[in-house]
Chains A and B, each alone.
Chain A
């Protein structure tokens, strides 16, 4: 296997884009990525378009083909990808595997979402799923994980809230983030309770947005000094074993372990991480699955500043889902966008100095007290 590399990225800042269509947002991200890579549309041999809700909102299917035609790409294989919160990162995984195995020289990956629609409520796992009929909503699973983490390890409400404070502070330096104003610990804890113990400012907000990547084989990227190597791209689905341990999240640990093994690296090799902070407790759990610290020590880790910019292993220096917002299918690609910027030394005031190895981690879908998907991409310069 020759491996893959990322030679172009594009991002439409996350926020309210009420007057713009999904195809328009996605098309802009694609345009920016192609320009960044310095390539013309006819060099793209393979395409992936990710959107969790495009078909529902547009009353159409095969939306990816519309998006690619916005930037003059047609005729080639274009795959429409839906995988809940990992729609974008799953599309990236597919592209990396495809170019690494020689299916195409250049792949374009685009993810986009519009979420400011009247009927948007809390996400659930499907109207006819048993758990949904019994009242399950997306934050509740994470809230139950928080309760166990607090019970088993003494993690405090303050430590959870510190994740939001840290990520908002990081977002002040990220023009692509929706929420850039700092928040205090008191404000986070005093915001309305959504699902005990998670308050509103501990839950990622919705957003409109789009992001895109140009992926090539590592060989073709050799001449590009801004190319970022993909050391591993992993996608695992849930195990759904019963009983599920809400703290030692087997699917999470498994995907992270596999990513390190395939990259031939370990947690100590990482310079910077983007992980799926849909809720504050999620980031704490992901520190542990990524083995940035021992199981149970994630609360202490954020409290002691190890994951802040300037700390031992900065996490979510982009501001994360908590500050960017979470346009579902764009998120996974926005995480990779950030890691690429870091590894190119182009992250400006957010730059982690001397960044050599970065990791983007994402999860999505709820089933049987487990996640349905987990993706991890490890990159290096």
Chain B
């Protein structure tokens, strides 16, 4: 799977760069979902997102670590004024509590399902072309989308 396809392998979306290199990785091996990339300190074990170069506790040089792709929406809002960087209008922003690390990460929300947002909503990470980067080029952005209830379709 190339860097330019969306995470479900849809063809024809062109070769889009990620909004920031090293921010996320697309599914590897048997995975079905992309992951945000945090930093893990090899000296004290601290895990951070975004990945800092140096561990804030002990200055160890951090290693890249894939974070859990799933979590729960801690809070959210919908931005209804003119969107920057070609983002959708309106667009959603939230803080998600990730499984495993417990990190509370800031991220975009799926613009197609803003009406489903509620505190506590189970969400999963996805990656797709959304908006443009600092150079004005269309790019991939990570965002969180609701996990379907059991009984609904497994993929969207």
Using a CB–CB distance below 8 Å, which chain A residues touch chain B? 121-122, 124, 127-128, 130-131, 133-137, 140, 143-145, 147-148, 151, 192-197, 242-244, 246, 369
Contacts and interface: CB of A to CB of B under 8 A. Distances in A.
A131 B85 CA distance: 13
Given A130-B23, A148-B119, A242-B104, 16 more contacts: A127-B134, A128-B134, A130-B50, A131-B106, A134-B108, A135-B79, A135-B83, A135-B85, A137-B81, A144-B93, A192-B80, A195-B77, A196-B78, A243-B74, A244-B104, A369-B106
A193 B102 CA distance: 32
9 contacts: A130-B23, A134-B93, A135-B108, A135-B131, A144-B93, A147-B76, A151-B119, A193-B80, A242-B103
Interface in B104-155: 104, 106-108, 119, 131, 133-134, 141
Given A147-B77, A195-B78, A195-B80, A133 B134 contact: yes
Contacts of B5: none
A146 B134 CA distance: 30
Contacts of A133: 19-20, 85, 133-134
Interface in B18-55: 19-20, 23, 48-50
B94 interface: yes
Interface of B: 19-20, 23, 48-50, 74-85, 87, 91, 93-95, 97, 102-104, 106-108, 119, 131, 133-134, 141
Contacts, number: 85
Contact of B102 (A194, A197, A243): A243
B141 A134 contact: yes
Given A242-B48, A242-B49, A130 B77 contact: no
A151 B87 CA distance: 28
A128 B80 CA distance: 22
Contacts of A151: 75, 119
A130 B36 CA distance: 13
Contacts of A135: 79, 83-85, 87, 91, 93, 108, 131
- The 4 lowest CB-CB distance pairs between A and B, nearest first, are A243-B104, A143-B77, A144-B75, A196-B78
A147 B108 contact: no
Which residue of A122, A127, A144, A369 has the most chain B CB atoms within 10 A of its CB atom?
Answer: A144
A192 B75 CA distance: 21
Contact of A136 (B81, B82, B102, B106): B106
Contacts of A194: 79-81
Contacts of A246: 74-75, 95
A145 B108 CA distance: 16
Contacts of B106: 131, 134, 136, 369
B105 to A, nearest CB: 8
B91 A144 contact: no
A35 to B, nearest CB: 42
A243 B102 CA distance: 8
A369 B74 CA distance: 12
A76 to B, nearest CB: 38
A59 to B, nearest CB: 22
A369 B103 CA distance: 12
B135 to A, nearest CB: 12
